[in-house]
Amino acid sequence: MPLIIAIAGASGSGKSLFTENLLKEFAQEGKSVQVLREDHYYRAQDHLPMEEREKNNYDHPRAFEHELLLEHLETLKRGEAIDYPSYCYKTHTRMKETQRLESAPVIIVEGIMLLASPELQPMYNVKIFVDTPLDICLLRRIMRDIAERGRTLESVAKQYEETVKPMYHQFIAPSRFTADVIITQGGENHIALDVLKSHIKQRLL
Ligand SMILES: Nc1ncnc2c1ncn2[C@@H]1O[C@H](COP(=O)(O)OP(=O)(O)O)[C@@H](O)[C@H]1O
Ligand SMILES: O=c1ccn([C@@H]2O[C@H](COP(=O)(O)O)[C@@H](O)[C@H]2O)c(=O)[nH]1
């Protein structure tokens, strides 16, 4: 049965980079791994005007269609394929295209609310929390959101004050206590990558 690894942490903590690096480690050994991003499960908002979408709280567990994510994890665990959704941060809604994604011996799922949602917890075999100081996360987020997500400095700052920071303290920070492993130094922690790789290899034997 596939092993499901959840990687959670604040926005900008280094989850995606850590996931990419873990993926590279497995690719070098010819191991098949699939990655799911919780962000792809943000709810569709085609029915809302743009001003409404811009005001939404994207840092609350309700913003995600966790029911669909749970169904997809169960399907992958049975060894079956899913139709993986996609999401656009610039228009704040789901895209029409889905991607057929086959199951694999290792499934990595990465996102901010993964450990804060009790209904998803039983699906995970390994729970990881990337723990990075919030000031560093904010600096990274400012740079990334302006460069890649069509945002202005003012909009990033406003959203951070109104939702990102308070929701972090309400949902994400407490969820770190449910983790099996807490990773410091973000996506480039090579010792953590090595330890995790050995653990996963052992469990796959
Ligand atoms: N340890 C690190 N050192 C330097 N830059 C990092 C580190 N971890 C992540 N980054 C960079 O910070 C930004 C946000 O990281 P990312 O992995 O996308 O965060 P998340 O997925 O948690 O939102 C990216 O540009 C990434 O390359
Ligand atoms: O339409 C959207 C959807 C999400 N966000 C923000 O994205 C982050 C989560 O993504 P990371 O890759 O983990 O940073 C979350 O904090 C949301 O605020 C958005 O701004 N707009």
Dihedrals φ, ψ of 125, to 5°? Answer: -90, -35
The residue whose CB lies within 8 Å of the most ligand 1 atoms, and thus the one to mutate among 17, 114, 190, is 17
Q: Which CATH architecture has domain 3-204?
A: 3-Layer(aba) Sandwich (3.40)
Question: From the CA of 30, how far away is ligand 2's center (Å)?
Answer: 32
Q: Please give all residues whose beta carbon lies within 6 A of any atom in ligand 1, as ranges.
A: 9, 11-17, 140, 144, 185-188
- pLDDT tens profile 112-156: 999 999 999 999 999 999 999 999 999 999 999 999 998 999 999
- pLDDT tens profile 52-79: 999 999 999 999 999 999 999 999 999 9
Residues with Cβ within 8 Å of 83's Cβ and at least 6 positions away in sequence, in order, are: 98, 99, 100, 101
- pLDDT tens profile 150-205: 899 999 999 999 999 999 999 999 999 999 999 998 888 999 999 998 988 888 76
The DSSP bridge partners found for residue 8 are 129
Compute the distance between CA of residue 201 and CA of residue 187 in angstroms, rounded to an integer: 20
| The overall pTM is greater than 0.90 | yes
ipTM for the predicted complex comes to: 0.96
